[in-house]
Amino acid sequence: MDAPGRRHVLLIDDDPTIGLLVTRALNRRGYEVEHLRTPEQIVRFLGQRADHAWDVILLDVNIGELNGLRILAELRAAGDRTAVVMLTGDASAATATAALRGGAFHYVIKPISVDNLYDVVQLAIGKTAVDRELARVPEVGDLDDGLVGRAPAMAAVRSAVHRVGASEVSVLVIGESGTGKELVARALHQASRRRDRAFVAVNCGAIPEGLIDSELFGHTRGAFTGATSARPGVFVEADGGTLFLDEIGDMPLAVQARLLRTLQEREVRAVGGEGTTAVDVRVIAATNVDLERAVLRGRFRADLYFRLNVVNLRVPPLRERTDDIPDLIASLLRRHAGAARPAIDDDALEALLRYSWPGNVRELENAIRHALAMSPGDTIDLASLPPAIVAPPPRSSLAMGSAVMARVDDHLPEAKRRAAAEFERSYLLRILGQAQGSIAGAARAAGIDRTNFRRLLQRHGIDPACFRP
């Protein structure tokens, strides 16, 4: 995820050395950290905590006379939605299972790897954001423009839409496929004096070359084979409103010339027609190709490019605004599931937050719709997600990884052996958790027979009973 703004982390741990390590490490990353280490401070916190004061809570399992798991239970019983990451020196499966079943989002094994801790904290921030956004009651007009997100790159787009929307200038929206260029065009329309008139969207790349003239400018009856009735065309349909020409870079050169004339003269001539029809249309174009390069190669008219590119708005890809993914997930769940929206379990949420989203917001939306369709009940789990998304390492590898990373003095063969063993153990923990302690189910999911699976469990000292309900 993106580097954070001023995120707030609460550390509850009675060890001053851990407090100093965590505070310094997270301060360097831009976080604000408050450290509670005495029983009096912790009891006072439990009595007057505010759900929205912290983005993540780091909680030690053993805090002097206090019990971290009991504190976790109090937080969850009070309805606190802040993601909790447990810190523990006990790497046993029983401790991990107790923490996760108690409502912890993650657990981290001491000694703490700073890189591992930062990774877990980033994911926990996303968890907190999704849970709070889903619980929030939307205010009237909250999602009117559909431009979800508070990352700087998206804030710049929203600011530009606000400034440019009320004008009549042509706007060229650029961005990768799936970034939400049409949403920006609709937001510009809503910000203009034309908001009460038509918004018409046309994908220029999806129309066969022989029909694009008719689609844009209309045709008369009998103008060509199959023209059994007259059609006005999208310019006439959008008269008084806004016409959005998506994938303008795919428009044939001959049609580009006729489009330029229409924009200059503000009138259209239907295919097969003799007269012209005046139109009052604001044109917003969009493309995912480099039009300047297309002009140099002779594939796009320079005069049309300058006519369309009065104002240029770039929509950032999702990889440049990953802090917005939690808000987007919550917004898409609201849109597609309504009041019946399911919860998202922690493993599924982690997969969504870790995935690179090459298809941008459209791919995220498709993933949410897939999960809603495939979810067997009221919770989206890993099995509900598209297979391509369930590829990043599981949560347990993060927790166990700190023990591996701490041994940087090992020679390479020993480091590789240790890393492989830790990965194998974390994989077994995850798959047993998903199978709720069923050896048969876990072995089947792992693709190995039960005898070998049991042998692996014995090798790592894992008791499957700890995972059973």
Give the model confidence (pLDDT) of 285-321 as tens digits.
999 999 999 999 999 999 999 999 999 999 999 999 9
Indicate whether 283 belongs to any domain. yes
Indicate whether 419 belongs to any domain. no
Segments in 136-191 forming alpha helices (H): 152-165, 181-190
At 399, give phi and psi (nearest 5°): -65, -45
* Residue that is written with structure tokens 């505010």 in the block: 50
Select the highest-mean-pLDDT range: 207-221, 326-340, 418-432, 450-464.
326-340
- Is residue 462 within 8 Å of residue 432, measured between CB atoms? yes
Q: Give the Å distances, CA to CA, from 96 to 108, 205, 218, 345, 356.
A: 9, 52, 66, 16, 28
Residue 325: name the closest of 187, 104, 180, 151 by CA. Answer: 151
Indicate whether 49 belongs to any domain. no
**CATH code for the domain in which residue 221 is found:** 3.40.50.300
Indicate whether 37 belongs to any domain. no
CA–CA gap between residue 188 and residue 286 (Å, rounded):
13
pLDDT per residue as tens digits for the range 144-163: 457 888 888 899 999 999 99
CA–CA gap between residue 5 and residue 152 (Å, rounded):
10
Indicate whether 169 belongs to any domain. yes
CA–CA gap between residue 125 and residue 6 (Å, rounded):
12
| Angle (CA) 400 404 407, round 5° | 150
Residue 211 structure tokens = 């029909």
At 101, give phi and psi (nearest 5°): -70, -30
Indicate whether 218 belongs to any domain. yes
Is the pLDDT score of 32 beyond 90?
Answer: yes
What is residue 405's predicted lDDT score, i.e. its pLDDT? 40
CA–CA gap between residue 348 and residue 328 (Å, rounded):
15
Average pLDDT over residues 121-130: 91
* Residue that is written with structure tokens 């706007």 in the block: 171
Average pLDDT over residues 78-97: 82
What is residue 107's predicted lDDT score, i.e. its pLDDT? 85
Average pLDDT over residues 154-177: 92
Average pLDDT over residues 116-122: 90
What is residue 337's predicted lDDT score, i.e. its pLDDT? 86
- Compute the 3-state secondary structure of the chain and give helix, strand, coil in percent, each to the nearest 5: 50, 15, 35
Is the pLDDT score of 85 beyond 50?
Answer: yes
CA–CA gap between residue 294 and residue 370 (Å, rounded):
36
How many independent structural domains does the chain possess?
1
Average pLDDT over residues 459-464: 76
* Dihedral (Cα; 80, 81, 83, 89), 10-degree rounding: 30
Average pLDDT over residues 59-65: 85
Q: Give the Å distances, CA to CA, from 94 to 77, 145, 400, 424, 432.
A: 22, 48, 14, 17, 12
Q: Give the Å distances, CA to CA, from 119 to 3, 8, 79, 251, 345.
A: 11, 15, 25, 45, 18
Tell me which residue range forms the domain holding 294: 152-315
Residue 363 structure tokens = 């791919």
- Is residue 186 within 8 Å of residue 199, measured between CB atoms? yes
- Stretch among 102-111, 169-178, 220-229 having the lowest mean pLDDT: 220-229
Residue 172: name the closest of 81, 67, 306 by CA. Answer: 306
Q: What is the pTM of this model?
A: 0.73
What is residue 402's predicted lDDT score, i.e. its pLDDT? 41
Indicate whether 28 belongs to any domain. no
Indicate whether 449 belongs to any domain. no
At 326, give phi and psi (nearest 5°): -60, -45
Looking at 93-167, which runs of residues are DSSP E strands?
106-109
Average pLDDT over residues 383-392: 79
- Stretch among 120-129, 287-296, 370-379, 444-453 having the lowest mean pLDDT: 444-453
pLDDT category of residue 67 using cuts at 50, 70 and 90: confident
Is the pLDDT score of 392 beyond 60?
Answer: no
